Amino acid sequence: MALELTNDNFKGNVLDNSGVALVDFWAEWCGPCRLIGPVVEDLAKEYDGKATIGKLNVDDNREIAAQYGIMSIPTLLFFKNGEIVDKHVGVASKADLKKKLEAHLS
């Protein structure tokens, strides 16, 4: 299951992470977010132990969303060693997201 990220645990799980992390910025009222949600959950299972996959609710964690200038959701940010290395805005296929994850894992 994807990690629930918050203002309190974001730094420890994403910024201080020495590996790859994928963060899904979403909200409950967002239709496209509900479409990509199951894809993110699948990736969390598939990459368990290889990458940190998390979801951050922008309504509950406005500080982090503002810090990264999230204007449209869903926005997926890929981090490596705490730095943003890739970004995707909108719905994406599982294959596309896997391709990006694999590129940063190698």
> Model confidence over 19-40: pLDDT tens digits?
999 999 999 999 999 999 999 9
The set of catalytic residues is: 30, 33
State the amino acid at position 84 in one-letter form.
I
* Per-residue model confidence (pLDDT) at position 104: 96
Q: What span, in angstroms and rounded, lies between the C-alpha atoms of 81 and 79?
A: 7
Its pTM surpasses 0.85: yes
* Per-residue model confidence (pLDDT) at position 106: 86
pLDDT tens across 80-92, in order?
Answer: 999 999 999 999 9
* Per-residue model confidence (pLDDT) at position 34: 96
Q: How many residues does the chain have?
A: 106
pLDDT tens across 38-54, in order?
Answer: 999 999 999 999 999 99
Domains of the chain listed by start with CATH number: 3-101 (3.40.30.10)
